[in-house]
Chains A and B, each alone.
Chain A
Amino acid sequence: MQTEKNNTPNFLGNFLKKATSSTSNGKLNIPQLIVIGVACLAVLLAPTYLSNYRLNLVITILTSAFFAQCWNLMSGYTGQFSFGHAAFFGLGAYTSSILYVDFGVNPWIGLVCGMAVAGIVAAIIGYLSFHYNLKGDYFALATMAFCEIFRVIFKNTDFLHGASGVSIKFSKDIGLMQFGSKAGFMYAAFVLLALLTFGMYKIRRTKMGLYFVAIRENEDAAKALGINAFKYKMIALIASAMFSAVAGTFYAQYYLYIDPNICFESAVSVSSITPCIIGGVGTVFGPIIGAAILEPISEFTNAALSNFVGLNMVVYGLILVVVIMVMPKGLIGLVQDLKVKFMKKKKDKKSKSPVEAEG
C-alpha cells in the first residue's frame, strides 16, 4: 500500500498532524463575532489609551500574527511544513529597501517587486521540491537550506550592502510607505492582518481551501479524488511567500534598518511558526491568538531579565515547552477538546438519568 512503501521520515508532518485541530469550516457564531468585534475595536482605539511604548507592542503582535498567518496558509492549511519562511520575509524586505535606497524606487512599488521576487523564488523552490516529491522533514530541511543560502549570499555581496545592512531614511510621507506615527503603522498593520485573515476565513469555504486541507490530511487520497496536488501545493507556497514578502517590506519600513541576520536567521522562520502552534495550527484565528500570547511574554521576559543576557530566551523557551506539552493542539484545539468532553458528559448524564429514574 502506498503509505507503507512511503517511508519518508516525517517527524514534522506527524507533529503537524497532532498539532492540527479539526479545522472548523463552520460559520462564526454570534458570541465569536462579538469577541472578534470587541478585539478589533480594542485595537482600533488603542492609540487613544496606550502609550507609544505599548503601541509598539501592539504593532509587534499584529505583524507577528500576519507573518504567522502566511506560514499558516502553506503549512497549517496545506500541510507543507516550512522551516524557511524567513527567506521570503527577507527577500521582501531587501527588495523594497534596496530598490528605494539605491535606485530611488517608491517603496509601494518596491513592495510589489518584493512580492514578485519572493513569488518567483518560491516557485523555484516549490518546483524543485514538489516535482521530485520532496516531502515531510526533507521538504522542511530544503526550505531551511534555501533560507540559509540567502543569508550567506546577502552577507557576502557588496552590491546587496553585505553584512552592514541597509538603512532607510526616515520620513513621514505615506507616499513613501511610512505612516507618520506609531498609530499610523498600527492601523496599517491592522488592515494587512484583517485582510489576510478574512481571506483565510473565506478560502476555507471554497474548492481551493478544501483542496489545501485535503492535501494536508492525506495526499494519496487527495490525488485519487482528482486533485492535482502539485498545482495546489505550488499555489499555497507562492501565495504564502508573497504575503511573507509584504511582512518583510513592512518590517523594513517600520524599523528603517535591515541586515542579513535580522532577515534570514532561522529565528525569523521560527517566529512564523510559534504563534500558529500556540494558537492552533490550521485554524483561522490561531496565529492571531498565538501572537497575542507570545509577544507580550517575550516582551516581558526581555524587560524583566534585561540584566542577564540570554536568560530571557531560556525563560521564553521554557514557557513555550510547557505550553506545547499542556496543549499540543494550541489554545483553539484545547478549547475544542474541552467542548467535546463537556458535550459528552452532558450526553452521558442525559442518557443515564432515565435509567436511574426507573431504578
Chain B
Amino acid sequence: MGILLKASKVTKKFAGLTAVNSVDLEINEGEIIGLIGPNGAGKTTFFNSITGFYPATYGSVTFDGNDITHRTTYQNCKAGMARTFQIVQPFGQLTALENVMVGAFNRLESYSEAEKIAREMIIFVGMEDKMHAIVADLTIGDQRKLEMARALATKPKLLLLDEVMAGLTPTEIEETVELVLKIRDSGVTILMIEHIMAALMKLSDRVIVLDHGTLIAEGTPSEITQNERVIESYLGSAYKKQD
C-alpha cells in the first residue's frame, strides 16, 4: 500500500499563536487514522491546513504524489480530498438530494447523472426517506450523515471527518461507526477527529495525538491508551483505572 498523504513539518501560525507546530504525518491508502487531543489542540486547524482552507505557514503536504501545500480547497477536492465540518455546513435551503448533488458534480457534468450518484450516496448513508427534505429542517445527526454523503459523492480518495459523532445518540453513534467501516471498505482512506473514544478505538488502525499544536504520540489504539503523556494531557487519570 502506498502513501496517500504525507505532511511534513506542517506549521500554522495565527499572528503570535502557533496553532499547529511542525506536525509530521503519513497516511497509507486504506487506513483509518484517528486524530485526538484536548480542545484547542489544533486538530481542526491541522485539517484546515491540509485541505487548503488555511494554507500552512511552513512545511509541506504531499497528496497522492503531488505537492499540494499551496493549492486551494476546491483544487484539493478535485484531486480527491473531501471533508466534513465540525460545525455542520449544510446548504440549508436545498433538499438533501440537491446537497449531495453539489458534491457529485465534482466529477460530473450531467444533471441526471449527478442525481443518480446522489441518490446512491443518500441510500448508502441510509437516509432514503429524507431524500427531498429541506436540509435546514433535518436533525443534527441527519445533517452530519448527509455531510458525509455529500463528501463521498465527490468520489474522494481521502475523507477527513471532523467530529462526525459529536452530539449524536448512542444508537446514531453505532450506526456511524458501521458507516465509517463501510466507507473504508469501499476503498476510501479516512482521517478522523473524534472525541468519542470508544468509537475511535474500535475504528482506528492508528491514532495520533495533538496537544498544544504538537504531535505528542502516535500508535495503535492500545498503545495510545497506555501512553503516559496522552493520559495526562487528554484521556485523564480515569482511563488508567479502566485499564
Contact = CB atoms under 8 A, between A and B. Distances in A.
A223 B44 CA distance: 17
Chain B at the A interface: mostly helix, strand, loop or mixed? mixed
Interface string A201-237: 0000111001101100110111111111100000000
A96 interface: no
A225 B111 contact: no
Contact of A20 (B83, B93, B101): B93
B51 A224 contact: yes
A206 B87 contact: no
A1 B85 contact: yes
B83 to A, nearest CB: 5
B51 A222 contact: no
Instruction: Pick the most buried of A206, A214, A224, A227: most chain B CB atoms within 10 A of its CB.
Output: A224
Interface in A174-221: 205-207, 210-211, 213-214, 217-218, 220-221
B225 interface: no
Contacts of B83: 224
A227 B101 contact: no
B88 to A, nearest CB: 9
Contacts of A20: 93
B94 A23 contact: yes
Contacts of A228: 74
Nearest to A208: B105
B73 interface: yes
B10 interface: no
Interface residues of B, number: 36
Interface string B22-54: 000000000000000000000010001001010
Contacts of A307: none
A206 B48 CA distance: 30
Contacts of B89: 3, 218, 220-221, 224
Interface string B68-110: 0000111001100011011101111111001001110110110
A214 B72 CA distance: 18
A206 B111 contact: yes
Interface in B150-175: 150-151, 154
B94 A213 contact: yes
Contacts of A25: 95, 98
B111 A217 contact: no
Given A206-B111, A210-B101, A211-B102, A223 B90 contact: no
Given A21-B93, A211-B102, A213-B91, 16 more contacts: A2-B53, A2-B85, A4-B87, A22-B95, A23-B94, A207-B108, A207-B111, A210-B98, A213-B93, A214-B91, A218-B89, A218-B92, A224-B85, A225-B150, A227-B74, A227-B102
- CB-based closest 6 A-B pairs: A226-B77, A226-B106, A217-B91, A221-B89, A223-B73, A22-B93
Interface of B: 44, 48, 51, 53, 72-74, 77-78, 82-83, 85-87, 89-95, 98, 101-103, 105-106, 108-109, 111, 114, 134, 136, 150-151, 154
